[in-house]
């Protein structure tokens, strides 16, 4: 078997400030130096395997997915803040609850949520101030936040509670990133009480959700929203989810559902603002679509070029920029030995920008996703993951993004003086700031 080049723990420590702020340049430099796979020492004889090899990634996520599972980075470290829902669990626990959550995102159910989705989007877009620069990242964060909150709870009177929950989850995410990127300080985080402080924030967030659930049950109302679907979901023996599990699933849908969409929308708007010709093509398409139609899903299906722009933005800035897996059995991939217990981090960001698979990979070119032109990208394009653990809400997110982009471009001409957007890789890939100038058409 091939012996992998290894980045020592000393090299990691030497680059600790850069890695804490943004690890992507460190990843890229080592991929360029050592090739598509290398190891990183993290102490106590532990190593992490990094790869951007398309065949290895497909093997792990799809072909031999049963030999791999989510690592402790998610099932322990992230789970202590957001619970053991379908994002942070493995094995039979994951399979059972995935089957229970999946029907909430079937096409027929989504069709009933599109009206709520559009109403929330239109309401948030009223905050755009034409004739001036506005950072679209917090704007899209609030938009995606309201969409998920209203699709989950069908309520417009819980703004303060939802803002508290959003604040708690974002503060906990920043803490988790420090734990992951500064493992040598984990002892200090424990003894100083920092972790306990953030666990208390997580508890407060769960109490907020529990109160909303209690109010729903006490009202006796049927809303046919995501919360109702989860309340009505049953195990094979006919019993319902226990309250702690219901809160876990709701919290994960809330956290993952609004954050990744907000990121993707912000990057898409930046790219459209930088490319007026492409923006004009979107305008030509959306001008001819009735967004007030009874069958909104049918209208959205006609916005093919708008969807291509989003798909291309997701290629350049994938929300899940790194995917983790742990080998639960010995495996051999591409002549490389992956012993049981190996932790593998797969760089989707690097794969999506590889010149081995993409022509002019740094260029924003939505035409590459034209159905008449595009190749089969399924082996090296993973904006929502792949295999059985592909994001359960991918269609929900795509519909939401198409509506938001269509409504913005139909009403505003957007531009920006920003040459490149600075990324902020947290649990998902965020932009730091996206100033956009809005001009009424």
Given its phi and psi angles, is residue 43 left (phi above 0), alpha (psi -120 to 50 degrees) or beta?
left
pLDDT of residue 267: 98
Q: Report the b/e string of 158-194 with b at 16+ CB within 10 A.
A: beebbeebbebbebbbebbbebbbbbeeeeebeeeee
In this prediction, residues 253-264 reach a mean pLDDT of 89
In this prediction, residues 24-53 reach a mean pLDDT of 88
pLDDT of residue 151: 87
pLDDT of residue 112: 85
pLDDT of residue 264: 97
Whether the predicted pLDDT of 118 surpasses 70: yes
pLDDT of residue 16: 81
pLDDT of residue 43: 64
Whether the predicted pLDDT of 271 surpasses 70: yes
Q: Name the residue with higher pLDDT: 416 or 184.
A: 416
Query: How far from each other are the two terminal CA atoms of the chain, in whole angstroms?
Result: 61
Whether the predicted pLDDT of 350 surpasses 90: yes
Domains of the chain, by residue range, sit at 6-440
285 neighbors 402 (Cβ within 8 angstroms):
no
| CA 285/CA 283 separation, integer angstroms | 5
pLDDT of residue 17: 84
- Selecting from 1.10.630.10, 3.50.50.60, 1.10.12.10, 3.30.565.10, what CATH number does the domain 6-440 have? 1.10.630.10
Joined tokens for residue 177: 């990133």
If you search the block for the tokens 């069958």, which residue do you land on?
Answer: 295
pTM of the full predicted structure?
A: 0.92
pLDDT of residue 439: 95
In this prediction, residues 72-82 reach a mean pLDDT of 92
């Amino acid at each position: 078997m091939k012996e992998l080049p290894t980045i020592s723990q000393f090299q990691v420590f030497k680059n600790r400030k850069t890695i804490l702020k943004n690890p992507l340049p460190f990843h890229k430099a080592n991929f360029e130096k050592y090739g598509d796979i290398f190891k990183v020492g993290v102490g106590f004889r532990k190593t992490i395997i990094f790869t951007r090899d398309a065949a290895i990634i497909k093997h792990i996520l799809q072909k031999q997915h049963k030999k791999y599972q989510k690592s402790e980075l998610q099932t322990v470290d992230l789970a202590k803040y957001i619970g053991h829902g379908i994002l942070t669990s493995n094995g039979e626990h994951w399979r059972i609850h995935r089957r229970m959550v999946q029907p909430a995102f079937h096409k027929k159910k989504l069709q009933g949520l599109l009206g709520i989705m559009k109403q929330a989007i239109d309401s948030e877009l009223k905050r755009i101030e034409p004739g001036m620069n506005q950072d679209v990242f917090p704007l899209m964060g609030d938009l995606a936040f309201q969409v998920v909150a209203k699709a989950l709870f069908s309520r417009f009177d819980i703004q303060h509670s939802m803002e508290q929950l959003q604040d708690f989850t974002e503060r906990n995410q920043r803490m988790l990133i420090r734990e992951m990127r500064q493992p040598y300080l984990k002892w200090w985080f424990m003894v100083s009480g920092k972790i306990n402080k953030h666990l208390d924030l997580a508890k407060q967030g769960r109490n907020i959700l529990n109160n909303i659930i209690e109010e729903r049950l006490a009202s006796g109302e049927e809303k046919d929203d995501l919360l109702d679907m989860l309340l009505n979901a049953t195990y094979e023996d006919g019993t319902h989810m226990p309250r702690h599990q219901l809160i876990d699933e709701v919290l994960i849908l809330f956290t993952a559902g609004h954050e990744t969409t907000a990121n993707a929308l912000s990057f898409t708007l930046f790219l459209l603002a930088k490319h007026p010709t492409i923006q004009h093509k979107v305008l030509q398409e959306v001008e001819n679509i009735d967004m007030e139609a009874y069958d909104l899903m049918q209208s959205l299906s006609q916005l093919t070029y708008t969807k291509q722009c989003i798909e291309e933005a997701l290629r350049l800035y994938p929300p899940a920029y790194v995917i983790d897996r742990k080998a639960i059995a010995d495996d051999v991939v591409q002549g490389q030995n992956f012993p049981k217990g190996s932790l593998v981090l797969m760089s989707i960001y690097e794969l999506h920008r590889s010149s081995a698979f993409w022509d002019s990979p740094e260029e924003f070119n939505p035409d590459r996703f034209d159905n008449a032109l595009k190749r089969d990208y399924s082996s090296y394009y993973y904006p929502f993951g792949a295999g059985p653990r592909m994001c359960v809400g991918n269609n929900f997110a795509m519909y939401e993004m198409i509506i938001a982009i269509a409504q913005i471009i139909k009403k505003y001409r957007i531009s920006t003086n920003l040459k490149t957007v600075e990324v902020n890789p947290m649990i998902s890939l965020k932009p730091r700031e996206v100033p956009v100038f809005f001009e009424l058409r």
